[in-house]
A and B are shown apart, each in its own frame.
Chain A
Amino acid sequence: MMRFILPLVVFLVLAGFLYVGLGLHPHEVPSPLIDKPAPAFSLPQLDQPAKQFSPAEMKGKVWLFNVWASWCESCKDEHPVLLDLAERKLVPIYGLDYKDKPADAQAWLNTAGNPYKLVAQDTDGRVGINYGVYGVPETYIIDKQGIIRYKQIGPITMQNLRAIILPMVHKLEQQP
């Protein structure tokens, strides 16, 4: 009997591990910045380069900080979701145009629509490094105290908007 049970147990354990492995996303590295203050910066705004934007201005508001670029293909998949979210005015979306030419970024927003309250221009990608960006698009939920509460790696979909992002925004808005 044992000679049948043992291989069966080994097989089941292995199958279990492989099954769990199917659902893992090794590309999504947990960010050490969760529950830490959003790194400070001051960058020119995309449409008005003379003006600067700094996350310190956002104290007291829950906001989304979306890192994108006009050269990024999955940002284009995400774009309609952001437009829809902006239209519903549930949470303000601020953009970081990562390692991009301002003219290209502006042209893309002009044709596809602009979901952002404001876009900061990170031409050399330094601010991106401080935020631990390694694959655009990435989106941070930042609370009223300026603390990063969540990081979405890869495009936001309707599903994770509904399941994770909006409930978290709602919860953070109840907090001081």
Chain B
Amino acid sequence: MKKVLIALLLCLLPMYVYAGEAKPLAKDPAVEKRLVNLAQNLRCLVCQNESLAASQADLAKDLRQEVREMIKKGMTDQQIKDYLVARYGDFVLYDPPVKKTTLVLWYGPFALMLIGLAVLFYQLRKRRRTVLETELTPEAQQRATALLNDEENNQA
């Protein structure tokens, strides 16, 4: 009986070992989900073309930990963004607010598109005018036909 009991207890041992080791790995999934959502829209300052979620830079790891702790403290997404903006500026946001300094960023592409459209319309109108201008008189038309026929004959 004693042996059986010991055997049973030994069977439980791996579970304890597992629980002990898994703890630091098993993060709160809700926190992680919010972290990823937030960090995808934040820029890593070290590798500026990477998001905070993707970057492996040391600072990005530290900031993810910081954000994780803020989430656990119950801060809202906006509060967390404000915290980072207060330290690193609007630059950390992939979706920066419309301000005096970001006007060109937000509206520059539309301005360029308008210029492009204006050039396109100007060119199209100019082309239509040239097409209208080259209407042929009946004589000229006849001559053109004759020349074309002549050319065809020559080729043949």
Contacts and interface: CB of A to CB of B under 8 A. Distances in A.
Interface in B45-101: 45-46, 48, 58-59, 62-63, 66, 85-91
Contact of B48 (A27, A32, A99): A27
A110 to B, nearest CB: 26
Contacts of A125: 59, 62
Given A32-B88, A134-B46, 20 more contacts: A26-B48, A29-B45, A29-B89, A30-B89, A31-B88, A32-B85, A32-B87, A32-B89, A32-B90, A33-B87, A99-B58, A125-B59, A125-B62, A130-B87, A131-B87, A132-B87, A132-B88, A132-B89, A135-B45, A135-B46
B58 A134 contact: no
A99 B57 CA distance: 13
Nearest to B66: A129
A75 to B, nearest CB: 15
B118 to A, nearest CB: 13
**Most-contacted residue by chain A among B45, B58, B63, B88 (CB, 10 A):** B88
B91 A29 contact: yes
Interface in A22-45: 26-27, 29-33
Given A99-B58, A129-B63, A129-B66, A134 B89 contact: no
A130 B90 CA distance: 15
A31 B89 CA distance: 6
B45 A32 contact: no
**Most-contacted residue by chain A among B62, B63, B85 (CB, 10 A):** B62
B46 A129 contact: no
A129 B89 contact: no
CB-CB nearest 10 A-B residue pairs: A134-B45, A132-B87, A32-B89, A29-B91, A132-B88, A125-B62, A134-B59, A29-B89, A134-B46, A30-B89
A67 to B, nearest CB: 12
Interface in A97-135: 99, 125, 129-132, 134-135
Interface string B5-18: 00000000000000
A32 to B, nearest CB: 4
Contacts of A29: 45, 88-89, 91
Nearest to A29: B91
Given A29-B89, A32-B87, A129 B45 contact: no
Contact of A134 (B66, B88, B90): B88
Nearest to B62: A125
**Most-contacted residue by chain B among A26, A32, A99, A130 (CB, 10 A):** A32
Contacts of A132: 87-89
Interface string A131-158: 1101100000000000000000000000
B99 to A, nearest CB: 12
